[in-house]
Structure 1
Amino acid sequence: MGRPRQPLLSRERIVSAALAVVDADGLDAVSIRRLAAELGVRGPSLYNHVATKDDLLDAMVDTVVAEVDLSMFTGGPDWRGALEVWARSYRAALARHPRLVPALNQGMGRRPNALRQADAVFGGLVAAGWPRRAATEVGALLRFFVTGSTLGSFAADSPTTRRSTAARIRTWTRRTCWRVGSGRSMTPRSTPGCRRYWTG
């Protein structure tokens, strides 16, 4: 049997093509018709590999999140350093696909690598002495902070392009509703805004 004239269609090829479309033209440009044209196939053949557009979106996001380094959360009690290194790695992965960022905060339960990342951050903070509730909330807050700062950094003429990720993390730490003690002493701040936060 002769070799096929073009590479066989696969989920990985479809996701890669979809990411290229998002990088070039944004999320709204992704469609089955567009991807079929990019890949040189008929539209219905894509459904053998991706069930829906949401399935494709989840796969794109999970592919990007898989690039994030999580090894720093297995190295000991230096949670400050671990958070900073993780945030830098996370932001670097998002910076390669900034137009995908708006889709990151949806559907985590369907994205294995996103769950793996959340578990790693949570586990690292708990191992360093954080209360479980605090570890969950701080991990989520910092994840949202990094995604938001990435969007801001890639906005036209944004002043945030001139600020380092480390500076943003320090600013975020000062503004959270946790008072950071020795690393094992985490107490809620008592400002009016934080009291409203803790009481709902």
Structure 2
Amino acid sequence: MTKGITRARIVETALQLLDEEGINAVTARALADRLGVRAPALYWHVGSKQEILDEMATEIHRRVARQLEAELQCDSWHEGFAIYARVLRREYLKHRDGARTFSGARVTDVDVLRAQETFLRRWTSSGLSLADIGAAGQLVRSFVVGFAIEEQDRGQAGGQGYSIAARDDVLGAEIPLVAGTGKLVLSPPDERFERYVEIILTGLEATLSR
């Protein structure tokens, strides 16, 4: 085993590489170069690139869990899921390609999962079934992932991104409603995010109360 190389150090270096160069740059060879070792030395600690991604995602979800522990003190599942959505988006946006990288990976730290027990117990005590809480959580998480991926893709595109003016020129003046909906894309993302989360949770509340 190579001295000085730990699983935690590999993950920290992988996150730095992700932030600087993006997910495609996170390879065993690139990590080994940064750590000053040969690529095979990494496999004492991580068996594959997917395992590296899983460990990166686990570290991010540890941070999410710590933030939720501090912020999620309410008994309302509606407000609780709104807080969860904000925390998850905030953490994903801290890292280049964050949502795309972390959303599909496996969380390897059982303590991250155990941390969910407190608020799940609180929400089921309020009358919501565990199945409904699970469905709501999956829906909110899926929305956050999609929103953050699009938000990061637009931000990383810089001046080469979506142009409302160019789109309107192509559409012409005879379809103003379509042109109007396009302008919503350029409204402030924080405002859109909060509005969309509230629509989702209000719809869930109406559906689950039947």
Establish whether TM, by shorter chain, passes 0.5: yes
Which is worse superposed, 43-52 or 58-67?
43-52
Describe the shift of the 1:119–1:70 C-alpha distance in structure 2 as closer, same or farther (beyond 3 A): same
Q: Which runs of 5+ in 1 are unaligned?
A: 1-6, 188-200
**Does structure 1 retain, via aligned residues, the 8 Å contact 2:54–2:108?**
yes
CA RMSD of aligned residues (A): 2.7
Q: Which structure 2 residue ranges, 5 or more long, are not aligned?
A: 155-160, 162-184
Residues 71 and 101 (structure 1), Cα distance of their counterparts in 2 relative to 1, 3 Å cut: same
**1:92 equivalenced with 2:90 (yes/no):** yes
Q: 1:163 to 1:59 in 2, by over 3 A?
A: same
Q: Which moved more, 1:49-58 or 1:71-80?
A: 71-80
Residue from 17, 21, 31 that aligns with 1:21: 17
Partner AA of 1:171 in structure 2: I
Q: CA deviation at 1:78?
A: 2.0
Question: Partner amino acid for 2:102?
Answer: L
Q: Give the secondary structure class of the aligned counterpart of 2:5.
A: coil
Q: After TM superposition, list the pairs within 5 Å mapping 1:51-200 onto structure 2.
A: 51-68=47-64, 69-71=67-69, 75-108=73-106, 110=108, 112=110, 115-116=113-114, 119=117, 122-156=120-154, 157=161, 159=186, 161-164=188-191, 165-176=193-204, 179=206, 186-187=209-210
**2:29 alignment partner in structure 1:** 33
What letter matches 1:186 in structure 2? S
Whole-Å Cα distance in 1 between the matches of residues 115 and 21 of structure 2? 28
Does structure 2 conserve the Cα–Cα contact (< 8 Å) formed by 1:84 and 1:169? Answer: yes
- Equivalents in 1 of 2:86, 2:80: separation in Å? 10
Q: 2:108, 2:68 → 1: CA distance?
A: 19
Q: Percent identity?
A: 24
Query: TM-score, normalized by length of structure 1?
Result: 0.74
More helix by share: 2
Distance 1:153 1:161, change over 3 A: farther
2:206 partner SS: strand
Output the amino acid matched with 2:48.
T
Q: Give the Cα–Cα distance (whole angstroms) in 2 for the partners of residues 154 and 113 of structure 1.
A: 29
